[in-house]
Structure 1
Amino acid sequence: MADGAGGLRPLLPRLVVAVALCAARSSAESGAPTVESLVRRAIDAAGRLDDYTCTSTKQEKVDGKMLPEETFVLKQRKQPDCLYLKWVVEPYKNRETIYCPARYGDKIRVHEGSGVAGWFGTLSVDPEGMLARRNNRHSIREAGIFHLLKVVGERFELARGDSEHAIGQRTSIEADVHGEPSYCFSFDEEATKTEICLHRTLCLPTRVKTFDGSGAVIETYTWAHYHLSVGLTDRDFDVGNPAYGF
């Protein structure tokens, strides 16, 4: 990652333009934007990003049990696609994970921060194997905002074709998501409902929450404290990085 403000200066004009475009479109509309406008802007905003860092949380119901919330720092680069995660709160504090197929093939590099599992050092794990998928509703291949917004775009196109629901012309709802000013909307399906919240100026995800048919929450994910197009390098996805604990 670029160190200090000097490394970020060449990227700032591009970032300022991206934020200004999104903010201008928001202010030009009366009230909250339509779902169609919001989805288009989010996909456009993600398309302009090379990489980002943020603080993210996840909480999922697995095998009928709601698991503790997890909080981690997330770094993601678009090309080549790489992820770094470091858990910063118990129960998995100091766990680190890198998924970077261009560097390590289709394997997750992971080490636990404490406990007996930490004695084994850095492991190379199949992303679809039992160890990686234990207590996880989704694969690490689905982590980060780039995959999320791709899926949101696909689901929107499917829902938009349903004239009965006319989702594109619905108005989003203003919300505050853990201090992040957001617009929210939902996709309603037979068995589930998914609420999606996007930052009002960045147009990037702040929360996704899925409910089952009874209205009970089955998964919640949040993203906050974004730093955009910071210039992540191969070093940010290297188990040999001295700043990491691998």
Structure 2
Amino acid sequence: MTTVTAPAEPASGGYPVELVARPLILPDGAVEGGANLVWQRVSPGNESFSFVTAVPHVRFAAPGVELMGQASIGLYQTEQGSPGMTVEIERLQSIGAGLRHGISPDAAIGAVFEIRLPATDFKSYNGRAVAAMKRHLGARSAFELSGFAGASRTTTAIPGLGSYEQDQLLGGCELRLQAQLSPIVAAEARTSVTLRKLLDQPPEADTTFVAQDHGVRLVAAVNRDVDLTAGFDVVESQFRVVLFTVGVVARRLP
């Protein structure tokens, strides 16, 4: 099988409507904003909890670099666990920022930083470096492959007892397969694997964990400036999380 790289500029000129033809980062001067509405069910053991969250994001491409920001906001809880087990949804689930440098239209490197549950006594700081590439298998299909490595720190504050910190190393990869079903509708299948290594643990402790995320989504381009999306994900780590997502993305192109 021979892979080919799409030209930097599509034949029609400007930013491509087709998902498979789009470069990894936006053209210089472009601004993109959007939001996803996510229903997620978390299943630790025999319990289950369901939440609805909103995930707004923004991207801005300056010469040589693309800047990104994202947040996750808890809206409401749709399902509680057993009567003796109460979980309250946090309004601010996470905030994050990142940057990417485009080596070419189909290759980029960057870094991402995220804080999870920043307003609680149990927060997590995550930073990682990322490298990504895109290759075209033909006029109507492509794949994106990325690898990442970094570290995280979780801090737990216990009233009257002080705080506890847990450090981890992490690394992994993600593969996205894209197929253009029509001039405006594309399907994307995604799978990612993350390996986490706990630091400063007793010798007998289990210190290595693997998380997997598998999902599919549809992207419908209203035009080159607006996309509508819908997707489904299953995350397997120390427990299972199922997510259904719908979203809208709008961009202003130079």
TM-score over 0.5 for the pair: no
- Superposition TM-score tier, normalisation by shorter sequence: 0.3 to 0.5
TM-score (norm 2): 0.38
Higher RCO by CA contacts (8 Å cutoff, separation 6 or greater): 1
Greater C-alpha Rg: 2
- Which structure carries more strand by proportion? 2
User: TM-score, normalized by length of structure 1?
Assistant: 0.39
